[in-house]
Amino acid sequence: MAVLDIKKYPAPVLKKKAAAVSVFDEELQKLIEDMVETMYAAPGVGLAAPQVGVSKRLAVIDISSRDDQHPLIVLINPCVLRTAGEVEFEEGCLSIPEYTAKVKRSESLVVRAHDRNGDEVEIEADGLLAIALQHEIDHLDGFLLIDRISPIKREFFKKRYKKKKTEK
C-alpha cells in the first residue's frame, strides 16, 4: 500500500467527469487500498479517485471515527436513486486545504453502486454519511464544494486563493 498525492484545486482532473469502472481486477484493488491508506493519512472521511489523479468512478468513505455504525465503504460507479429533504452542513475538502464552507445538500438519499468485488449494493443514508456520499459523488462528476456555494462566496474564495498563491 502507498499514500498517494492528493490533487489540489485547481488541478484539471478535479473538474472532469470520471469514467465508469468496467474491470474489477488486481489493479483496481491496489488503487482502493492505496486510496484508503491515503484517506486515513490525510486524515479525511472520504476520498474520490479523481482526487488522487485517477479519473475513475471510485470513492472510499469511512465515517466510523464519528459514527461507528458505518465502517469503510467502497463505492464504484455510484448513482443517486432518491433524495429527500435539505440540510446545510459545514464541509471541508482534502483537495482544498484550510477551507470550509456551508453547503446545502439532501438530508437523506439512496445510492446504488458496486462494491470492491463488483457486487451491486444499495445504501440508504442520512446525517454525516449522506453528506459524505454526496460530496464524493460530486468529485466523480467534476464538482468541488466551491461549486456548491454562492457565486459571491466562490469569487471571494478564488481571489483569496490567488492571493495565497502569489504570497508563496
| Residue 158 to residue 76: CA distance in whole angstroms | 31
Q: Which three cell numbers stand for residue 85?
A: 429533504
Looking at 37, 136, 155, 167, which residue is catalytic? 136
86 is catalytic: no
| Residue 132 to residue 28: CA distance in whole angstroms | 22
Is residue 109 helix, strand or coil? strand
- Contact call for residues 57 and 19 (beta carbons, < 8 A): yes
Active site residues: 136
